[in-house]
Amino acid sequence: MMNKSGIDALKRYPVFGIKDIANVLKKSREYASLVAYRLKKRGELQEIEKGKYTFESDPFVVASWIVWPSYISSWAALNYYKMTEQLPFTIHIISTRKRKKKTVYFGNAAIEFIKIRQSAFLGYRRVGYQGRGIFVAEKEKAVVDALMAKKMSLPEAAEIIKENRRKVSIRRLYCYAKNARGLLKKLRRELEG
């Protein structure tokens, strides 16, 4: 079985797989699978999806580590920046990778993956959250991602931007919106018209 130092080594990773367990234990993948099964059965380890595990309980900590590269965006990112009081039940993850399973359920949240073009994969940063590093979209990019993925309407976006005028750079917002076909024109019309 796994000793405390092995568990501590794995706790450094928000999300890890069987291969990581095998590397820490210096054992085979089969043995690592057995260890994961036993830890999960004892309630010490949570399975996010097949082959991906965590010791964390907060879906926000786990979300941007399930797929690499990725970042948290849309309503969840705006809630993180305290730009909306709406509590998201779905954490939207932006990635350049396509997944068969578009939604993963973990804890009390759905984690939904949205694939975007490599050229649009920008405007995010690593931030500290509950002693962990997570990847979150910049405020302006979170709005643009939500609009591009049709998770937010233009009037909702305009209201959020107007209510948080001091927190949002309109120039940066327009710069990100340029990457989305037709979005810049619609956004300008909504905000300035």
Answer yes or no: do 103 and 165 share one domain.
yes
User: CA-to-CA distance for 121 and 16, rounded, in angstroms?
Assistant: 24
Residue 2 pLDDT more than 80?
no
> What is the structure's pLDDT at 1?
61
Query: What is the extent of the structural domain holding 158?
Result: 59-192
CA of residue 159 relative to chain centroid, distance:
24
The predicted-structure confidence for 164-188, as pLDDT tens digits, reads as follows 999 999 999 999 999 888 899 999 8
Q: Are 166 and 181 members of one domain?
A: yes
Burial category of 174 from C-beta neighbours within 10 Å (exposed 0-12, middle 13-18, buried 19 and up): middle
CA dihedral 45, 46, 50, 51 (to 10 degrees): -30
CATH classification of the domain holding 44: 1.10.10
Clarify whether residues 101 and 143 are in a common domain.
yes
- Percent share of the chain, pLDDT over 90: 83
**pLDDT of 72-121, one tens digit each?**
999 999 999 999 987 778 999 999 999 989 999 999 999 999 999 999 99
Task: Pick the more confident residue, 141 or 193.
Answer: 141
Asked whether the predicted pLDDT for residue 5 surpasses 90, the reply is: no
For residues 183 and 108, membership in a common domain is answered with yes
Q: Indicate whether 73 and 150 sit together in one domain.
A: yes
pLDDT confidence of residue 88: 77
* Count of structural domains, the chain: 2
Q: Within this chain, do residues 166 and 102 fall inside the same structural domain, yes or no?
A: yes
> Which of residues 8 and 71 earns the better pLDDT score?
71
Looking at the fold, whether 86 and 43 belong to one and the same domain comes out as no
Residue finishing a domain among 22, 39, 54: 54
User: What per-residue string of b and e applies to 58-74 under the rule 16 or more CB within 10 Å gives b?
Assistant: bbbbbbbbbbeebbbbb
Q: Are residues 39 and 114 in the same domain?
A: no
pLDDT exceeds cutoff 90 at 3: no
Same structural domain, 33 and 107? no
pLDDT tens for each residue of 120-164: 999 999 999 999 999 999 999 999 999 999 999 999 999 999 999
Residue 125 shares a structural domain with residue 186: yes
pLDDT of res. 7: 85
Inter-residue contact 65 to 14 (CB < 8 Å): yes
Based on the domain organization, do 127 and 39 belong to the same domain? no
